Amino acid sequence: MSTTLSADWARRLNSLQLALVGVFLLAPVVWMVLASFKQSSDVIAYPPTLLFTPTLENYVALIETTPFLSYGVNSIIVTVGSTTLGIVLGVPAAFVISWTRVSWPAVLTLAARMVPGALFLLPWYILFRNLGMIGSYWPIILSHAVITMPIVIWILLPYFDGIPRSIYEAAQVDGCSITRILWRIALPLVGSGVAIAAILAFVFSWNFFLFVLVLSTSDTKTMIAASFNFVGEGSTRWGVLMAVATLIALPPLVLAMIVQRWLIAGLTLGAVKG
Amino acid sequence: MASLSRSTSAQITGGDTPRLNPQTLQLTALSAPAVLFTFAMIAFPFCYAIWLGFHSFSATGHTRFVGLDNYRKLIGDVEFWNGLYVTFALYFLGLALQIAGGIYLAILLFNAKRLSGFTRSLFISPILLPSAVAGMMWIIILDPSIGLANYLLSLVGLPPSEWIASPVWVLPTIALIDTWHWTPYVALIVLGGLQSLPQNVFEAAQIDGASPTRTFWRITLPLLLPTIVTATVLRSVDLLRFFDIIYIMTQGGPGNASNTLNVYGFKIGFEYFNIGYASALMLTLSTIVFGVVLALNRLRRAVAW
Amino acid sequence: MASIKLRNITKTFGGPNIISDLSLDIDDREFVVFVGPSGCGKSTLLRIIAGLEPVTEGDVFIGDQRVNSLPAARRNIAMVFQDYALYPHMTVYGNMAFALELRGMSKVEIDTRVRRAATMLDIEPYLDRRPKALSGGQRQRVAMGRAIVRDPQVFLFDEPLSNLDARLRGQVRAEIKALSQQLKTTMIFVTHDQVEAMTMADRIVVLHAGVIQQYDTPEQVYEHPANQFVAGFIGSPTMNFLPIRLQGDEIVLTGDGRALPLTDDRRGRLQNAGGEATLGVRPEHILLCDPREGIAASIKLVEPLGSDTMVHFDLAGTPAIARVDPAIKPKVGETIALRMAPSRVHMFDVKTGQVLT
């Protein structure tokens, strides 16, 4: 009797702590979203208010006074482009790595994650400038593919490794070339893996700050790069700044909710088996 | 002797399994784009950066080989040593908070068996926010005059803080923000480790009469060590290259109180266009990161069970 | 339809040889079984013929064509895998049609062939199902169907029955044999189960340590094993082996010096082998007899199988088994008198294990 009672209390205590941690983790996000719907007088009110008349004026101002829609389009072009490139490069690479069991190329792509991005940015910038590519989307898409390709490879590797070898061999006996095995046998079997890899690649590319900071120009500026400029003038337009932040945060949050079950493996790049 | 050499040559011509059979050819073709990309975008720029580190570039576009001058300059550069201090102060502070917090949160999540996937994903949502967004939203919350943070302090009777505007508090504050951002990530990894622990060990401990506290310190934690080291590696790589949030919130200030090596290097390269010196600094930082990762990998092998 | 010739095949994965200098001829339309313990190289040999594994040295001929550098896809062979290796994302129909599709066959022709094979194997009702929705036995049939529709030169089977339960295994075994008589195609079947080898094969290849121990019909392999390994591997329960030697004019058990009544020609062979040998006799060739003329032994264990009863006993310090009529109702502790059918015993060289002739 007493043990079940104390177990009951232990569970309640656990839930309470969990709730407190949850508030600490989520409150800033909620505050940001609320602030984006506040009138400018409410944003700077002290003490801060929880009750206010919601308004869309910050979002309207954002669209009317800045080319934010075109920044959004730029963001989508860059993210979709680099995700596609990551898939196109990473899927066959992961298949070959799994087939040959030669894993050092996969490790090499991880090394890129350890080096400060600015180290690559200097040579990239010089190269892209000499090639006359600065001003186009290509430098940004290519640089973000350095982020997305390893994600795709590392997420897909366990999926490809999970296909029994004999299925590949049966296909060989049936008359498949290796390329055809990838298309007709392996890809359909790892379809869900490709979807998850694509979503995570999308999120990471969307969130990446450093490369667009340097490689984007006024025509190719993405939402994140543009938001950095808003910070400077932020003190006068906080509501607008929070509207920007909310809009940028929305796609990754929504996508992540969709794949939350597979998030662990993806986020740790295979370091932990979810 | 003659017959021996003849038989050898006969063997070579006889066993004509071609080196480049269609299979090898197709595997090469399939991996070629990724390999070419890796060389063009990662390996070549890395080597180019090493070359840049040995050169100096004047405003007139004149390039000069300077040997180790850039690295010598680094040793005499006060800002470099400050950056090194800031980087490591932030690293140890952030890491300690995130690992401890991550283990705590992981255990809470592990004990809450009946948690819906949606609720669980709420706990990890900070990870998914772009660091740029995290920086912007904390700027407002931490504003000294109207921010929510100081209001909360005043509610419990504490004096207001300058937060990121104070040279003393800027590093702990940024470490806290990063902890808010990445503790769920550590928790996810540790939770994965907890879920894969052999359940019968805990039952055995229960039968042996170990108290929950003792079980945690003597069984759970030692078994979790490899997972914790894995999380440490992943966080170290990011913490040692701390950039986004600082560049958005303080740009290294006030003064140089939050000027990490990565932020300092970026400014040298892209604000002062001192490409050679910036490359040398970034390579030094890369070496530090590699060194820490290698050391931690060795530690991981030591604590493996 | 084709014969297969292997010439001086050697295979190594870097370490010791998996297969050493092996040559083998398989006739057109023959059903050959590779049998041997695990690790003997039988599956590797099959995969070499399939083209899934390159040879280190030697030549492989299918028909009269040297196929060393021909990939599996172009050898016109079909293979049934141990785990069936069905394509999980395709229906049964899709699994069977896939290879034909790759060969650019017309839809009508594919349909005819798939339905004909499905009828033959009794799997028409499942054509639209995915492998996941099939039982083990059904999957096995689909794997066979996938091979049959191809109408290949050679069928290869890699332990296709080992994932089935015992009852189903006997049934499918009979079906494969019937199928082989119907299709009249060269077939190679790999197994570690000597019963499968004996019941299905036209000829058996007994492999051990990458070397062919014997290649002959099931009857020959059973009646006239080439060496002690084959003798011990084929037959269940396994053959009894007893050390014997020549003592004066008599052949005696080395263990206790008791004389064995064997034919005179054996004595000559034993003489040639230096007076010592290993005697091999199958449990079914140890007969009960009159206590006055037989060898006495004390029963240690009795295993009734219903149709027969296995009697375990020690003979001159070596454990041995006899298969007896259950009507005798032997009991543990009883002493029985035994003799060996003189024409059914084998003698093997002590050192090489080769049969003494």
Q: What is the ipTM of this complex?
A: 0.86
**CATH number of the CATH domain containing B263:** 1.10.3720.10
DSSP lists the bridge partners of residue C7 as C59
Nearest chain A residue to C50, by CA: A173
Distance from CA of B118 to the nearest CA of A (A): 7
Please state the rounded mean pLDDT for residues B109-131.
84
Question: Phi, psi at residue C82, to the nearest 5°?
Answer: -60, -45
Q: Which helix (H) or strand (E) holds C355?
A: none
pLDDT of residue C329: 86
Tell whether the model's pLDDT for residue B9 goes beyond 60. no
Which residues of B are less than 8 Å from C55 in CB distance? 15, 17
B285 lies in a domain? Answer: yes
pLDDT in tens, B145-165: 888 888 888 888 888 788 888
Q: Does C68 touch chain B (CB under 8 A)?
A: yes
Tens of each residue's pLDDT in chain A, 274 residues: 445 667 788 888 888 999 999 999 999 999 899 888 888 777 777 777 777 888 888 898 888 888 888 999 999 999 999 999 999 999 999 999 999 888 787 777 777 788 888 899 989 998 998 998 888 999 999 999 999 999 899 889 888 998 999 999 999 999 898 999 999 999 999 988 898 889 889 999 999 999 998 888 888 899 998 888 877 765 567 888 889 899 999 998 888 777 776 665 566 554 444 3
The alpha-helical segments, DSSP class H, found in B124-260 are 125-128, 131-141, 148-155, 170-195, 199-208, 212-215, 221-239, 244-249
B56 lies in a domain? Answer: no
**A175 within 8 A of C103, measured Cβ to Cβ:** yes
B98 lies in a domain? Answer: yes
DSSP annotation string for B33-81: HHHHHHIIIIIHHHHHHHHHHTEEE-TTS-EEE-TTHHHHHHHH-HHHH
Q: How far apart are CA C37 and CA C191, in angstroms?
A: 9
pLDDT of residue B18: 45
B26 lies in a domain? Answer: no
In A33-92, the residues whose Cβ lies within 8 Å of chain B are 35, 43-48, 88-90, 92
B210 lies in a domain? Answer: yes
Which residues of C are less than 8 Å from B21 in CB distance? 69, 71
Mean pLDDT of chain C: 90
| Chains sharing 3 or more CB pairs under 8 A with chain A | B, C
B173 lies in a domain? Answer: yes
pLDDT of residue A82: 96
Neighbours of A83 (CB within 10 A): 27
pLDDT of residue A265: 58
Tell whether the model's pLDDT for residue B13 goes beyond 50. no
Strand bridging mode C186-191 / C31-35:
parallel
CATH class label, C240-348 = mainly beta
Q: How far apart are CA B88 and CA B171, in angstroms?
A: 11
Mean pLDDT of chain A: 85
Break chain C into its structural domains and give their ranges.
Answer: 4-233, 240-348
Q: Which residues contact C220 (CB under 8 A, 6 or more apart)?
A: none
**A145 within 8 A of A201, measured Cβ to Cβ:** no
Strands, sheet with C346-348, edge to edge from the N-terminal-most edge strand: C259-260, C250-253, C240-247, C276-281, C346-348
Q: How far apart are CA C230 and CA C212, in angstroms?
A: 10
Strands, sheet with C17-26, edge to edge from the N-terminal-most edge strand: C17-26, C4-12, C57-62, C65-66
Reading the block at residue C165, the tokens are: 């339960």
pLDDT of residue A267: 61
pLDDT in tens, B29-42: 999 999 999 989 98
B13 lies in a domain? Answer: no
CA A268 to chain centre: 13
Please state the rounded mean pLDDT for residues C253-270.
81
The answer to whether the Cβ–Cβ distance between B151 and A46 falls below 8 Å is: yes
Which residues of B are less than 8 Å from C68 in CB distance? 16-17
Homologous superfamily (CATH) of C4-233 is: P-loop containing nucleotide triphosphate hydrolases (3.40.50.300)
Domain that holds residue B299: 71-303
Q: Does A115 touch chain B (CB under 8 A)?
A: yes
Q: Which residue has the tokens 């197709």?
A: B26
A57-62: Cβ within 8 A, 24+ apart: A57/A239, A58/A239, A58/A240, A58/A242, A58/A243, A59/A243, A59/A247, A61/A237, A61/A239, A61/A240, A61/A243, A62/A240, A62/A243, A62/A244, A62/A247
B45 lies in a domain? Answer: no
In A152-211, the residues whose Cβ lies within 8 Å of chain C are 164, 166-167, 169-177, 180, 184-185, 188-189
- Residue A209, classed as helix, strand or coil, is coil
Task: Give the A:C interface size as CB pairs under 8 Å.
Answer: 58
Cα distances (angstroms) measured from residue B50 to each of B46, B77, B260, B279: 6, 20, 21, 7
CA–CA–CA angle C254, C258, C262 (5° rounding) = 90
Q: How far apart are CA C115 and CA C123, in angstroms?
A: 9
Q: How far apart are CA C218 and CA C216, in angstroms?
A: 7
| Of the partner residues A127, A213, A272, the one whose CB lies closest to the CB of residue B189 | A272
pLDDT of residue B206: 78
pLDDT of residue B19: 47
Distance from CA of C73 to the nearest CA of B (A): 11
Nearest chain C residue to A191, by CA: C89
Q: How far apart are CA A141 and CA A135, in angstroms?
A: 12
What is the count of structural domains for chain B?
Answer: 1
